[in-house]
Amino acid sequence: MALCRICKEKKIITKADVYLKHYRLPLCKKHFKEWFLKRLKGTIEKFDMFKESVAVGVSGGMDSMTLWQALTELGYKVYGIHINLGIPGASEKAYEKVSKFAEEKGLDLHVVNLKDEVGATLPEIVKLRKRPACAVCGQIKRALLNKYAKRFNVEAVATGHHLDDEAATLLANILTWNLPLLKRKHPVLPSRDGFVKKVKPLVRFTKADIKAWVDLEGIDYVKGECPLSTGASLKKWTALLEEIEKAFPQTKFKFLFQYWEIIQPIFREHLEIPEDEFKIVPCKYCGEPAVIYNEDEEPICTICKLRELVNQSLEVSSN
């Protein structure tokens, strides 16, 4: 392997531990870490994401584990929130990896059990809701992360979305002209009606950069797909974008960042998007944000609605 570029500049000869293909940059472990943390801090400051405290939703996958550790090493007050969804086999394994990692690296971990929150596990809820598992799961995670982030009084909730994810969804949104999403999609979603600010600090890292972090740190993360996964479309967009990137290197970075810098401000100024058809009001039971579509509808949040649904099904089955 090549020599570390930064060591070489300092006239020191060190074998590179990683080659960052996207930047044609060979680095030793020490300088890779410095590069990664500096880039991460730069992103947080550039987009004014948070100053001191943040919550990270930690699933056990490589993106969230990396984010959790790197933010902690940068000196932020980081609350790792792991939601145990109760998926047989998968959830126990994820919890094990997350808690072992927290112990090894001295990270702050809070575990939220879905069963304690609503009285049922994700597979049980999916059966009751009769909706795709990924949609239900996404809704639950957003709601619970928001609830606990507020309890910890953090400035923002961070998720592990990286450059490849964001560029792929942008490609999908442009090719299908999803205008509301194009207008809204950004590394920072400001707080609104009881929703905490949401941020994506890894947007300037490719999946390969993150893979280099977990490999060099020796992180044991959850590999493979969620056993309930139904959503394959993002994967197809990601594969298409990879093909474009192969033919025209550096495209995905320019595509995403020039969208934010040049195109989105124009969209935001000139694109008329119909007003939201819904309102966000406090849940009548717990005060968390609830979405209502008309004034007569009772304001009940995602989690309280699921709890009601689970209780009703228990009543039915006991009668």
Query: Which residues here bind Zn ion, judged by CB under 5 A?
Result: 4, 6-7, 14, 28, 31, 283, 285-286, 288, 301, 304
Using the minimum distance from each CB to Zn ion, give the nearer residue, 4 or 212: 4
In this structure, are strands 156-158 and 53-57 parallel, antiparallel, or unpaired?
A: parallel
* Alpha-carbon span 259 to 186, nearest angstrom: 10
Using the minimum distance from each CB to Zn ion, give the nearer residue, 8 or 41: 8
CA atoms within 13 A on the CB side of 109: 24
Using the minimum distance from each CB to Zn ion, give the nearer residue, 49 or 283: 283
* 70 neighbors 92 (Cβ within 8 angstroms): no
Residue 236, both tokens: 């197809």
Cβ of residue 9: shortest distance to Zn ion, in angstroms?
Answer: 9
Using the minimum distance from each CB to Zn ion, give the nearer residue, 30 or 211: 30
**287 strand-pairing partners:** none
Q: State the alpha helices, DSSP H only, in the chain.
A: 5-9, 29-46, 62-73, 90-105, 114-118, 122-129, 133-151, 163-175, 179-184, 207-217, 233-247, 251-258, 264-270, 302-318
Cβ of residue 286: shortest distance to Zn ion, in angstroms?
Answer: 3
Using the minimum distance from each CB to Zn ion, give the nearer residue, 263 or 286: 286
Cβ of residue 20: shortest distance to Zn ion, in angstroms?
Answer: 13
What string of H, E and C letters represents the secondary structure of 259-309? HHHHHHHHHHHHCCCCCCCCEEEECCCCCCEEEECCCCCCCCCHHHHHHHH
Cβ of residue 17: shortest distance to Zn ion, in angstroms?
Answer: 9
Using the minimum distance from each CB to Zn ion, give the nearer residue, 226 or 301: 301
Cβ of residue 119: shortest distance to Zn ion, in angstroms?
Answer: 14
Cβ of residue 6: shortest distance to Zn ion, in angstroms?
Answer: 5
* 280 neighbors 193 (Cβ within 8 angstroms): yes
Using the minimum distance from each CB to Zn ion, give the nearer residue, 73 or 220: 73
Cβ of residue 99: shortest distance to Zn ion, in angstroms?
Answer: 28
